[in-house]
Chain A
Amino acid sequence: MNATSPLYELKDLSKRYTRGKETVTIFDALDMTISAGDFIAIMGPSGSGKTTLLNLLGGIDRPSSGEVHFEGQRIDNLSQGKLAKWRAAHAGFIFQFYNLMPTLSAAQNVELPLLLTRLSGKARKDRVKTALDIVGMGDRARHRPGQLSGGQQQRVAIARAIVADPKVLLADEPTGDLDRSTADEILETLQLLNAEMGKTIIMVTHDPAAASHAKRELHLNKGRFEEKGKA
C-alpha cells in the first residue's frame, strides 16, 4: 500500500430506513474516499446521518446498497464473525459517553481489545501501560471509571481505542460531554495520535472549535458532503 492509495473508498453508498410505509433516505449514491493519515471532522445538522456514516465506516452497521472498501478490501459484505475480527484489528472506537466498563479498572478496560489477540499476559500488560502513558493516564491505571473525571475517562477510552494499534480511530462527539479546556486537551491528544502515530481519525462533532483541530472539515447535509477549507 502506497501513501496515495485511499484507506477508505465508499462506492455508491445508500442508507435508507423504512418507518411504516415511509422510507427515509439518509444517503443516496454517496461516493467518497478517505486517505490514510487524514484527520477529518464531520459536521452537520442533527439527524443528517453523521453517526450513521461512522457506523458504516466502523463496520457496526451495513449500507442498504453500495460498498465500503478498506485498504482495498470490501468490508460491508463480510460475515458477522469476519466483520468482528476486522473491527478488532483495524478500527478503534471513541464514544461521546466513553462506554467504559464501570466495574473494571482503567488498565482492565484498556486491556479488553487485547484479549482478542494472541498476546501473552506480560505483552498485554506492557501494551496497556504504553497506551495509558500515551494518553497521560499512566498514574491512574488502577482507578475505576467512577473515580475519574469525564476527561480522564475519555483518555482511558482513547487508550482502549489505540491499544491494539488499529489504523483508524472513529470518534463520535468525543468532546460532546466535556468542558472547553478538557475538550481541547482531548483534541490535542487526538492531533498527536494523528501526527505522531499516523492514525487516521474520523471525528463527528457539532462543535466548530473541535472541528478546527482536524485537517479537513466535511459538512454533511441532506446526504451530500461539502468540504470547507480550514478557517
Chain B
Amino acid sequence: MFKQTTAVTLLNLRSIPQRWGMSLATVLSIALVVGVLLGFMAMASGFRATVDGAGSDDVAIMLRGGAMAEMNSNVSRDEVRLLEAAPGIAAGAQGDPLISSELYVVADALRRTTGTRSNLALRGLGLHGPELRPQFSLVEGRMFEPGAAELVVGASVQREFEGFSLGETVRLGPNEWTVVGIFSTGGSVFDSEIWTDLGVVQNLYQRGSGVQTVRARLTSPDDIEVLREHVGNEPRLNLEVLTERDYFARSAGGTVTLIEWAGWPLAILMAIGALAGAWNAMYASVDARTRELATLRAIGFGGFPAFIAAMVEAIVLAFLGGLVGAGATWLLFDGVSASTLGSGFTQIVFAFAVTPGAAVQGVILAVIVGVLGGFVPAIRAARIPLLAVHAD
C-alpha cells in the first residue's frame, strides 16, 4: 500500500508542471491570503513592540482623573508642587525629586515619503525629562537650553520628516526653532517626538503655568502603590497615577487589537476565496488525470492512494503558497517603517515586524486551505469509475 501510495503521489506531483497555470494560480492566491494576514500581524506586532518599548515600570505618569490621554489632561502648578514632595519618588544627583512636568502640543511638518504635512508631537519637558526615558541618548548635538527656542529631535522624526537636520531652523506654527540635537530612545514612541524646554512651550503656546502630565521615577516599581495611595488620600490632588507601561498599554491596546481584528477577518474572507480557487484547481487536476487514474485502478491500484496523492498535491501547493506569502511579506515589510496616529493625533513611527510565530501561523492557515480545498476533489479522485479507462 505504501509503495502504491508513494508511486501515485509522485506521479501526481510530477504532473503538476503540465497544469502549471492552475497550480500557479492556486499557489499565488494562497500566498496572497497569507501575505495579507502576515501584513496585518506584522503591523500589530511592530506597533506593540514600539509601544511596549516606551513604557517603563518604574516611571509613574500622573494625569487628570478621567483624562484618557495626555492631550485631555491638565495638572496645575499647585498640584505639581504637592507631587514634588510625594513619597515613592526617587531623588536625583542633587537630592531633588526625579520629576518632569510635561506639556505636549501638536505641530506639523512635511513627510519625506508622501510630501504631505503630518502631525508631530512637540513636547515640553522638565529638566529630568530625558532621564525618565530609559534608553535615552543624544545621537548628535546637545540638549536644549532652558528658556531657548531650541529643539532636540527624535531619530524617527529626523528620518521621516523634512527639515530637522542638526543646526537647521524650523518653523512650527508661528515660531522659529533651532535644531540643536538628535536623540534616540531605542525605537520607542518617543523617537517620534520633538522635545524642548517646558517653559518655552508654555510661553509660546500661551498655556500659562499649567502642564498636562507629570512623570516621576519611582524608587522601585512597587512604590507605584505608595504614590497612588498618597495621591488618593490627598484631597487637593484629583489625579490618576499609572505606571508608564500601563498608560501605554491602555492607549496602544486599542490600536493593536484593532489591527489584529481587522487582519483576521479579512484574511479569513480571502482564505475562503483561495479555498474556492484551490478546490477548483484540484478538481481540474483530477479531471485532467481521469484516464490515468482509471488506468491505475484497472491495473489493480486502490482508490486510497489516489485520495492521498490528491491531498498531498493540494497540501504541497498550499504549503508553497504559504512559504511564498510569508517570504514575500518578510522581504517587503519586515523592518519597513510605518506610522499611525498615536494617541493625541500625532504620528507614531514604528517598524513592521514579521515574527516567526506569525509566519508559522500564516503557513498553517495556508495548509488548512489546502486540506479543505483538496478534500472533495481527492475523494473524487478515489472514486473515478474504472470505465473511464476508455475516456478520451
Establish whether residues B14 and A103, one from each chain, have CB atoms under 8 Å apart when the complex forms.
Answer: yes
Q: Write out the residue numbers on chain A whose beta carbons fall within 8 Å of the beta carbon of B389.
A: 60, 93, 95, 99
- Cβ proximity bits B277-319 to A, threshold 8 Å, 1 near / 0 not: 0000000000000011001111111100000000000000000
- Interface check A192, CB cutoff 8 A: no
What's the minimum C-beta distance from B324 to chain A, rounded to whole angstroms? 24
A93 touches B3 (CB 8 A): no
Chain A residues touching B, range: 20 to 34
CB distance from B289 to the nearest CB of A (A): 9
Min CB distance A166 to B, Å, is 10
Stretch from A4-12, A23-31, A82-90 forming part of the interface with B? A82-90
A112–B386 CB distance below 8 A: no
B12-52 residues at the A interface, CB under 8 angstroms: 14-15, 18
Q: Is the CB of B299 within 8 A of A112?
A: yes
The answer to whether B11 touches A103 (Cβ under 8 A) is yes
How far, in whole Å, are A116 and B386 apart by their CA atoms in the complex? 17
A115/B18 contact (C-beta < 8 A), A58-B298, A84-B301 known: no
Q: Mark A43-69, 1 if CB is under 8 A from B, else 0.
A: 000000001000100101100000000
A141: chain B residues within 8 A (beta carbon): none
- Flag if B297 contacts A99 (CB, 8 Å): no
List 14 A–B pairs whose Cβ atoms lie within 8 Å, in order of A's numbering.
Answer: A55-B387, A84-B300, A93-B295, A93-B298, A93-B299, A99-B295, A102-B15, A103-B14, A104-B11, A112-B296, A112-B301, A113-B299, A115-B4, A116-B299
Does more than half of chain B's interface fall in helix, strand or loop, or is it mixed?
helix
Q: Quick check: A60 and B386 within 8 Å, CB to CB?
A: yes
A70 at the interface (CB under 8 A from B): no
How near does chain A come to B304, taking the closest CB pair, in angstroms? 10
- Interface: A172 (CB within 8 A): yes
B11 touches A116 (CB 8 A): no
Chain B residues close to A by CB (< 8 Å): 3-4, 7, 11, 14-15, 18, 291-292, 295-302, 386-387, 389-390, 392
B302 & A81 in contact (Cβ 8 Å cutoff): yes
What residue in chain A is nearest B2 (Cβ atoms)? A115
B15 touches A99 (CB 8 A): no
Is A101 among interface residues, defined by CB-CB distance under 8 A? yes
Chain B's closest residue to A116 (CB) is: B300
**B11, A115: Cβ atoms under 8 Å?**
no
How far, in Å, is A92 (CB) from chain B's closest CB?
Answer: 9
Q: B18, A60: Cβ atoms under 8 Å? A: no
A61 contacts B300, CB within 8 Å?
A: no
Find chain A residues with CB under 8 A from B300 CB. Answer: 84-85, 87-89, 113, 116
